[in-house]
Amino acid sequence: MAEIVGRIHSLESFGTVDGPGIRFVTFLQGCPLRCLYCHNPDTWNPKGKVAYEYTPQQLLDEVLRYRNFIVRGGVTLTGGEPLMQPAFCREFFRLCREEGLHTTIDTAGSIVNEQTLSVLDYTDLVLLDIKALDAEKCKHVCAADGRNTLRFLDELQARSIPTWIRHVVVPGLTDDEAGLDRLVSYVKSYTVVEKIEWLPYHTMGTFKYKELGIDYPLEGVLPLSADRIKTIKEKYKDALNRESSAE
Ligand code: SF4
């Protein structure tokens, strides 16, 4: 069998925003979605330039250097779309579990097949990015209609895998009251959903578009204000009626 090698865009050894506690976060290269607001366009091309090419064991060896720091946190795979490299994710998580490390994957769940679902065998928490619930709106925001993401959520429920929903709120695009209400009502019926993370749109990645020579699709759209995101968080803070739903 050919050796599994992950194509890794970058590493962050003390991540605090991608799952519980302090985490070793690995950004994998490749993503098919092309979200209008993406701040990591340099991760899109699966064959693009990467910082590392590691086997799962090599990545684990790197992680273990930080073991004392992440003992109450764990490891997170993100990207890009990590599930573009399912064999790598699965084997890395399997090794992490052997070491007693908590495993989290941040995914849009847009690729649903036997291989991607097999990663869930070794996954403790999923951060599931829902771009938009409405299929037409989702196709406008990214290169998918979102149905696979909802199928993925069904699978998480069937497997009882704790899930945090993530949703980027973009002025004039996804910041609509009725749409947010619908999203909350939809995910609420899934008992695995522990939390909804509202992510304010920002423009910190726009320089990367310039570097890559790509037009930035949301030129002129201002970042979501701190007041607006506070209002949204406040409005839905008890929406799930679950102990862990408060941030
Ligand atoms: S899923 Fe994430 S990495 Fe992929 S295009 Fe969308 S925001 Fe960018």
Cα 57 from Cα 75, distance rounded (Å): 14
- For residue 245, pLDDT over 70 is answered with no
- From the CA of 41, give the closest atom in ligand 1: 8
Pocket of ligand 1 (CB under 6 A): 31, 33-35, 38, 40, 43, 79-81, 108, 142
Q: Kindly report the pTM of this predicted structure.
A: 0.96
pLDDT tens by residue, 152-210: 999 999 999 999 999 999 999 999 999 999 999 999 999 999 999 999 999 999 999 99
| Pair of tokens at residue 99 | 């070491």
- For residue 132, pLDDT over 80 is answered with yes
What pLDDT shows up at residue 2?
A: 82
- For residue 247, pLDDT over 50 is answered with no
In this prediction, residues 98-104 reach a mean pLDDT of: 98
Distance 226 CA to ligand 1 centre (A): 22
What pLDDT shows up at residue 190?
A: 98
The preferred substitution site among 28, 34, 81, 199 for testing ligand 1, maximizing ligand atoms within 8 Å of CB, is 81
The preferred substitution site among 33, 84, 110, 212 for testing ligand 1, maximizing ligand atoms within 8 Å of CB, is 33
In the sheet where 6-15 sits, what is the strand order? 52-54, 6-15, 23-28, 74-78, 103-107, 125-129, 163-169, 193-200
The preferred substitution site among 40, 107, 197 for testing ligand 1, maximizing ligand atoms within 8 Å of CB, is 40
What element of type H or E holds 61? helix 56-64
Cα 49 from Cα 154, distance rounded (Å): 34
Distance 109 CA to ligand 1 centre (A): 11
Of the pLDDT bands very low, low, confident and very high (cuts 50, 70, 90), residue 97 is very high
- For residue 116, pLDDT over 60 is answered with yes
User: Which CATH class name applies to 6-245?
Assistant: alpha beta
φ/ψ of residue 186, rounded to 5 = -65, -50
Distance 68 CA to ligand 1 centre (A): 31
Q: Using a pLDDT cut of 70, give the percent of the chain over it.
A: 98
Mean pLDDT, the chain, as a whole number? 96
- From the CA of 31, give the closest atom in ligand 1: 4
- For residue 244, pLDDT over 70 is answered with no
- For residue 243, pLDDT over 70 is answered with no
Of the pLDDT bands very low, low, confident and very high (cuts 50, 70, 90), residue 242 is confident
